[in-house]
Amino acid sequence: MREAKPDIGARIVGGNDAAQGSALHQVSIRLGYIEGVPKKHFCGGSVLNDKWILSAAHCTYQVPAGILTAVVGSIKLSTGGDSYDIETIENHPDYDPKTIKHDISLLKVKGTIKFGDNVQPIELPTSDIGVGEVCTVTGWGDTDNQNTVPDNLQALDVKTISKEKCNKELAPAREYLPIEDNQLCTFNKAREGICGGDSGGPLVKDKKQVGIVSWGAPCAVGVPDVFTRVYSYVDWIKKNIGK
């Protein structure tokens, strides 16, 4: 089996174009160092309220807020949407870049996110998610292992699996194991799953965000994908976005 090194900056393989209006919370987080040069999508996120965006710490760890923008309100990378500069970043204090544990961050925008027909916040979970649940992951990026980047937001239904099965299937990725209770795994089959660029993006069940794309074996090679379990961090999220 291919070694399960985490793919930082992931994309969905085996998905379909997301329907208009199906992911009004979706964010494209864009990075750019040179003034005047368009910033490029590198991670996903989700709108929590009119000031805060939820993403993954491995996207924002040691990244200056000033070089990031968040684009909301479009299912295309090339056109549409509203852009907001990022004012501050709150990475989880226990985030470990060596093991990719506690992989969650919050981004505060400058100004206020305007809600409307194309932009709405996502709900946080009020209960934990079990095994065998069908959820939807969305994101932009490579749809294969040949760096094919779609313009349209991609969506894929995936099924949650147990922590025990995930640890067994990801055994080659020893430095990132064990998968813990505050993480969540999904798996369908080979050629379906996340790749690079979906990182930080939402995993949704019944209009509530249950996961954040964390890492996987690039790309969709037949092993589980790993998410941050949002339910484990609801108190931390609420505490920070209440600032």
Closest CA to 214 of 103, 50, 70: 103
Residue 103 annotated to the active site = yes
CB 39 within 8 A of CB 86: no
Residue 162 annotated to the active site = no
Q: Which helix (H) or strand (E) holds 12?
A: strand 10-13
Helices (H) and strands (E) in the chain, counts: 3, 15
Sign of CA dihedral 78, 71, 57, 227: negative
Set 25, 46, 103, 225: catalytic member = 103
Set 41, 58, 92, 102: catalytic member = 58
Residue 58 annotated to the active site = yes
Q: Quickly list DSSP for 30-84.
A: EE--STTSPPEEEEEEEE-SSSEEEE-HHHHTT--GGGEEEEES-SBSSS--EEE
Set 92, 199, 214, 225: catalytic member = 199
Task: List active site positions.
Answer: 58, 103, 199
